[in-house]
Amino acid sequence: MRKLLIATHNLGKLEEMQGYLKELSFEVVSMDDTDIPKEWRVEEVGQTFEGNALIKAIITGKKSGMLTIADDSGVSIDALNGEPGVKSARYAKGTDKQRYEVVLEKMKDVPDEKRTAKFTSVIAVYDPMSDQVTVTYGECLGRITREPKGERGFGYDPIFFADEIGKTYAEATLEEKMRIDHRGRAMQKMYEILKRFP
């Protein structure tokens, strides 16, 4: 059985992506299942979600020699001119909670009708056997809450209210989130592509 490596050190993202890939005829492995040193990281120097996803998939795929899938995603907030965007994971030093608290502080005077935002995900798969890369996209529209709500998820999930389900990502069950979220939509498209891989 061919191995499919998920190129992430983010445990929340790893769990979500494993959920989408479990029905495929691959042995899905994590970075911990490789000989790559634990401290090794790909520098995310891309200016777009697509750029970073491609960088992570190609560099990790070449280093591991495995079929490799990588995601780059983030939240873009209209009132903050699209920030944090591609810098979502690096928007402020510290924990996920510290990062979303920076957002809430910056938006404390923004009225409800102007708190619109969207989550975007780009998934890239790199195949070192053919040196080919494939990309899919997904997004979810919503708005930024005034305070965190919910205990699930990771990152900005507690402050992102998803319009389609009427609750924050952090209030949603994993099944609800996977059905409508940005990564889920990109992964559903990638799943159909990976089903056809040799």
Catalytic residue annotation? 72
Spatial strand order of the sheet with 3-6 comes to 27-29, 3-6, 67-77, 116-127, 132-144, 160-162, 167-168
Adjacent-strand bridge partners of 117: 77, 142
CA angle 46, 51, 54 (to 5 degrees): 125
In 3D space, the residue among 78, 61, 81, 83 whose CA is nearest the CA of residue 70 turns out to be 61
The one-letter amino acid code at 18 reads Q
The whole-angstrom separation of Cα 13 and Cα 85 is 17
> Which value, to the nearest 10 degrees, does the dihedral of the CA atoms of residues 133, 76, 141, 95 take?
90
